[in-house]
């Protein structure tokens, strides 16, 4: 009989700006879900893309989370300090023939590739080896002509034909940085994450991550993707446009706004402080109330 491991959740912000309402929703959803399962909750700074890192953003995010009463377990993991580990996994995938060096430029991919839901589908030019005279730029993961299926706790049954819809995807980029898709899988594996609760913009990435998990013999976590907070133009809020930063001077208001956005009825009694809020939230979190399209 197999024993279910204890719940381990995480929040994994990219330090591209101060915490805004959109990432607060992801933080509140994942923390409340962990508390409701009496699980642990980890924090990871996803600074693998060092070009997008904004100075001071990681510290500012941590400070805001502290003010809002979030409590994470252990040390904060920084992706920028884990390159040796990512390299080890990359080498293993290359040695097994599951990944391959690619010499194509973006322009070349766009000239012959098809357009997918998220970027270009790689036409497979370097799959059987780089054409002579080419210099290695990126490393890609070979994907099979198979369908990846999983059940999201909010969005239900999902399936994606990796080869047709995504194509062989980059795991080490031409600028030398490891790709998010590789880093997130290795980190979730190493941190023993059982439950991923994050924004629905990553729903489309999940089959790639599940495929990588299977290649590495890693367990697949449960997934709960949360509705996205959109701006006036229907676009996802981004930390980079500095839109809607949180007011850390009003922590309870911020928490309650995120709570309501997630379809959770507010407490009947006014809350004294953030600590009281979280104790109450742990008992009252009900993911079945979340609406896919989010709150108005
Ligand atoms: N770093 C991503 C973000 O800030 C989240 C990635 C994840 O939760 O897997 O949107």
Q: What is the pLDDT of residues 170-192, one digit of tens each?
A: 999 999 999 999 999 999 999 99
Closest approach atom of ligand 1 to CA 10: 8
**Does residue 13 line the site of ligand 1, with CB under 6 A?**
yes
- Cα of 14 vs centre of ligand 1, distance in Å, is 6
**Does residue 239 line the site of ligand 1, with CB under 6 A?**
no
Q: Look at residues 76, 86, 100 and name the one whose alpha carbon lies nearest to residue 49.
A: 86
Closest approach atom of ligand 1 to CA 239: 4
Closest approach atom of ligand 1 to CA 184: 9
**Does residue 198 line the site of ligand 1, with CB under 6 A?**
yes
Enclosing H/E stretch for 29: helix 21-36
CATH class of 8-81+229-289: alpha beta
Contact 79, 45 (CB under 8 A): yes
Residues linked to residue 116 through DSSP beta bridges, in sequence order: 119
| Average pLDDT of span 188-208 | 97
pLDDT tens digit string along 142-170? 999 999 999 999 999 999 999 999 999 99
**Residue 233 pLDDT more than 90?**
no
**Does residue 46 line the site of ligand 1, with CB under 6 A?**
yes
**Residue 243 pLDDT more than 60?**
no
**Does residue 14 line the site of ligand 1, with CB under 6 A?**
yes
CA distance linking residue 182 with residue 133, whole number of Å: 28
| Average pLDDT of span 217-243 | 83
User: Dihedral sign, CA of 186, 192, 194, 200?
Assistant: negative
| Average pLDDT of span 116-137 | 93
**Structural domain spans, the chain:** 8-81+229-289, 84-172
**Residue 206 pLDDT more than 90?**
yes
Nearest alpha carbon, ligand 1 atom 4:
13
| Average pLDDT of span 35-44 | 98
Q: Say how far residue 90 (Cα) sits from the centre of its chain.
A: 20
| Average pLDDT of span 222-236 | 88
Report the pLDDT value the prediction gives residue 118, as an integer from 0 to 100.
85
Written as six digits, the tokens of 165 are: 């819809």
Contact 10, 191 (CB under 8 A): yes
**Does residue 195 line the site of ligand 1, with CB under 6 A?**
no
Written as six digits, the tokens of 231 are: 């701006």
CATH class of 84-172: alpha beta
Contact 49, 180 (CB under 8 A): yes
Nearest alpha carbon, ligand 1 atom 6:
12
pLDDT tens digit string along 250-288? 999 999 999 999 999 999 999 999 999 999 999 999 999
Report the pLDDT value the prediction gives residue 24, as an integer from 0 to 100.
96
């Amino acid at each position: 009989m197999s024993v279910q491991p204890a719940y381990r959740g995480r929040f994994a912000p990219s330090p591209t700006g101060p915490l805004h309402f959109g990432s607060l929703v992801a933080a509140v959803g994942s923390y409340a879900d962990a508390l409701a399962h009496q699980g642990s909750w980890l924090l990871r700074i996803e600074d693998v893309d060092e070009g997008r890192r904004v100075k001071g953003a990681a510290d500012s995010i941590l400070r805001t989370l502290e003010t809002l009463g979030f409590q994470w377990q252990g040390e904060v993991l920084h992706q920028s300090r884990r390159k040796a580990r990512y390299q080890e996994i990359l080498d293993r995938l290359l040695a097994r023939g599951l990944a391959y060096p690619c010499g194509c430029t973006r322009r070349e991919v766009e000239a012959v590739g098809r357009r997918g839901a998220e970027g270009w589908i790689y036409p497979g030019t370097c799959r059987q080896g780089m054409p002579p005279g080419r210099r290695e730029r990126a490393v890609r993961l070979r994907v099979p002509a198979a369908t990846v299926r999983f059940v999201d706790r909010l969005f239900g049954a999902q399936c994606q034909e990796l080869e047709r819809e995504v194509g062989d995807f980059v795991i080490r980029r031409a600028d030398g940085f490891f790709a998010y898709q590789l880093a997130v899988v290795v980190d979730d594996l190493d941190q023993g994450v059982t439950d991923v609760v994050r924004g629905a913009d990553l729903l489309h990435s999940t089959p790639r991550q599940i495929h990588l998990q299977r290649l590495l013999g890693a367990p697949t976590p449960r997934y709960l993707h949360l509705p996205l907070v959109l701006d006036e133009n229907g676009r996802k809020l981004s930390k980079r446009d500095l839109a809607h930063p949180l007011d850390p001077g009003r922590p309870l208001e911020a928490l309650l706004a995120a709570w309501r956005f997630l379809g959770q009825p507010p407490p009947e009694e006014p809350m004294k402080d953030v600590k009281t809020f979280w104790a109450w939230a742990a008992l009252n979190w009900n993911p079945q109330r979340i609406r896919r399209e989010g709150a108005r």
